[in-house]
Amino acid sequence: DAGVTQSPTHLIKTRGQQVTLRCSPKSGHDTVSWYQQALGQGPQFIFQYYEEEERQRGNFPDRFSGHQFPNYSSELNVNALLLGDSALYLCASSHEFGLVYEQYFGPGTRLTVT
């Protein structure tokens, strides 16, 4: 049973560019959440997708957007990259009606903005 997968593993972009990160949820999961983890900090919630719609959003600007596909996989897009967007981006999947809404995390994508 494959767990949560993310791609790419690492990414280097220049300020002002746009980036797309991808996530495939654990088998049987239908909900995907994205988190940003800055160096030395705990993950911060960006947004969550369920049934191909953004269900809730954290305190992140509109430059951060996402999408969920019919197969439950998801993308995170960040436009007009800033140096401060450099972080580990984590995807977590869960089942809407699962036990205690346990979230399973992928290995993350390390984004470096220069």
Partner 1 sequence: GDSVTQMEGPVTLSEEAFLTINCTYTATGYPSLFWYVQYPGEGLQLLLKATKADDKGSNKGFEATYRKETTSFHLEKGSVQVSDSAVYFCALLYGGATNKLIFGTGTLLAVQP
Interface with partner 1 (CB under 8 A): 4, 6, 31, 33, 35, 40-45, 48, 55-56, 58, 90, 92, 94, 100-108
Bridge partners of 10? 110
**Closer to partner 1 by Cβ: residue 2 or 100:** 100
Nearer CB in complex with partner 1: 3/75: 3
Cβ–Cβ under 8 Å, residues 37 and 92 = no
DSSP 34: E
Task: Pick between residue 83 and residue 100 the one whose CB is nearest to partner 1.
Answer: 100
State the nearest-atom distance from the C-beta of 10 to partner 1, in Å: 11
Strands 64-68 and 53-57, bridge-based pairing: unpaired
- In the complex, minimum distance from the CB of residue 108 to partner 1, in angstroms, rounded to a whole number: 5
Q: Rank residues 14 and 97 by Cβ distance to partner 1 and give the closer one.
A: 97
How far does CA 24 lie from the centroid of its chain?
A: 10
**Residue 90 burial (10 A CB sphere; 0-12, 13-18, 19+):** buried
| Minimum distance of partner 1 from residue 59's CB (angstroms) | 10
